[in-house]
Structure 1
Amino acid sequence: FFFSLEASSWLAVQAARRGWGLPYFHARMTSVREGARVDYRTERRDASGASAHYDFEIHGEPAPAVPGTLDHFLLERYLLFTVASGRVSKGHVHHTPYPAARAILRTSTDTLVEAAGLPRVGAPAAVHYAEGVDVEVFGPFTA
């Protein structure tokens, strides 16, 4: 279940909202990597102006998470669920395992959590970095 998802493609946002009922938002997004340091920013293009800025450092080489570990539980999701018009639907997500590396968060500012109606809870317990993988989603199917 997703509380908020940002995407730089207006078309992808519309398809996800209309086809799946997912809470996607159109955003300006940048990611600048210099060595192990990454500066990531996202700012919604709507009136809320909700945004996030993360400055972090990658530690270690990217590799798939080991099944049965917390990292695997956090990173590898192969089903998605959504509620639209009172109906719960699911989608099957297909992708190769994320090659992720642990990271250390240096600084962050984030108003996306509050914009999703959730309380701020402090620093994250775990931070990971992954370049990304190609993803296919099949459905929606009745859950």
Structure 2
Amino acid sequence: MDERFTTKKASHNYNTRKRDLPSLPYIMKQTWTDSLFIHYPVNQQVLQKYVPDVLPIDTYDGMGWISVVPYLTSSMKLRGFPSIPGARQFPGYNVRTYVIVNGRPGIYFFSLTAANLIASTAARFFFRLPYYYLEIYMDNHNELVNFHSKSIKNSGAQLICNYKPISKPNPAAKGSLDEWLVERYCLFTITKKGVPLRCNILHRSWLLQDVEVEIHKNTILSALNISPATNEVIMHFSKRADVSIWPLVPAIYS
């Protein structure tokens, strides 16, 4: 089944975000390219069933959101080291929702996939994230991105789509839902004992473009047994983000 959508237009103070960082050096740099954001509205109560209670769901006008984000990691480099051999360029996608902890908005990941065994294993170990290695095909011809993932074993989650930007890049309007969805600069996870942890990231504000999308198969939400609250779908494209990543720190006291 094919679906076609078009989207809207994120801004945040870069220096303010710098002041919010923990007093530790970053540990990794990555570059993300050809990112597609597919945002679905989901009732807050539904989402909270799947998210630890210590990570309250964040809402916009009372509504929670879940997003599927395919993208290409086009570089990965540990601080003080050259690019990681075998992990320089690989596609992946993540499935995320939005939480707020100790007054700080961030992201909670249901799952992340990467077509690279080294990267997925390291992220699972060092960042306590539900990362999976998965065969994924992705290419870009004349700005048309083709993305084809295999299904995740035991869940059937699969994404097959192609997409193309159709406008000039702009930051999202201040205070808009678009800004709320993409301008998030930390992720949250928990320890085995349920203690919340935070990982900060830093990059320039997302430059977003309207996007035309054909979805040939998307079973990601159904694999989670989550249904959107409405038929409203918001999509964004962003060509590139150069990202610095910090180590995990306690979420509440830092």
TM superposition score category, shorter chain reference? 0.7 to 0.9
Which residue of 2 is the match for residue 59 of structure 1? 166
Conservation of the 8 A alpha-carbon contact between 1:25 and 1:44: no
Q: Letter of the aligned partner of 2:198 in structure 1?
A: K
The answer to whether the aligner puts 1:8 opposite 2:120 as a matched pair is no
Structure 2: how far apart are the matches of 1:124 and 1:53?
20
Q: 1:11 to 1:123 in 2, by over 3 A?
A: farther
1:139 aligns with 2:139: no
The partner residue of 1:20 within 106, 127, 130 is 127
Shift in Å at residue 41 of structure 1? Answer: 1.9
Specify the alignment match of 2:94 in structure 1.
Answer: none
* In 2: Cα distance, 1:29 partner to 1:46 partner: 14
Give the corresponding residue for 1:112. Answer: 220
Over 3 Å counting, the alpha-carbon distance change for 1:15 and 1:67 in structure 2 is farther
User: Compared with structure 1, are the counterparts of its residues 67 and 31 closer, same or farther at alpha carbon in structure 2 (3 Å cutoff)?
Assistant: farther
State the Cα RMSD in Å.
2.4
Q: Cα 1:104–1:120, aligned 2, differ >3 Å: closer, same or farther?
A: farther
Bigger shift: residues 98-107 or 84-93? 98-107
CA contact (8 A) 1:36 1:59 kept: no
Q: How does 1:24-63 map to 2 (within 5 A)?
A: 24-43=131-150, 46=153, 48=155, 50-63=157-170
Residue by residue, what CA displacement relative to the aligned partner does 1:55-97 show, whole Å, maximum 9, x if unpaired?
2342201233233222211112101101230221001111122
Query: TM-score by structure 2 length?
Result: 0.49
- Tell me the distance in 1 between the aligned counterparts of 2:150 and 2:201: 26
Deviates more, 1:106-115 or 1:127-136: 106-115
Distance in 2, Cα, partners of 1:67 & 1:10: 38
Cα distance in 2 between the residues matched to 1:128 and 1:63: 11
Output the CA distance in 2 between the equivalents of 1:15 and 1:44.
21
Greater relative contact order (Cα 8 A, min sep 6): structure 1 or 2?
A: 2
1:89 pairs with one of 197, 201, 218: 197
Retained in 2: the 8 A contact 1:91–1:139? yes
Residue identity over aligned pairs, in percent, reads: 26
Query: Would you say the 8 A contact 1:57–1:106 is kept in 2?
Result: no
Q: Secondary structure at the match of 2:181?
A: helix
1:78 is aligned to 185
Structure 2: runs of 5 or more not aligned: 1-107
Structure that is richer in strand per residue: 1
CA–CA separation in structure 2 for the residues paired with 1:97 and 1:44: 32
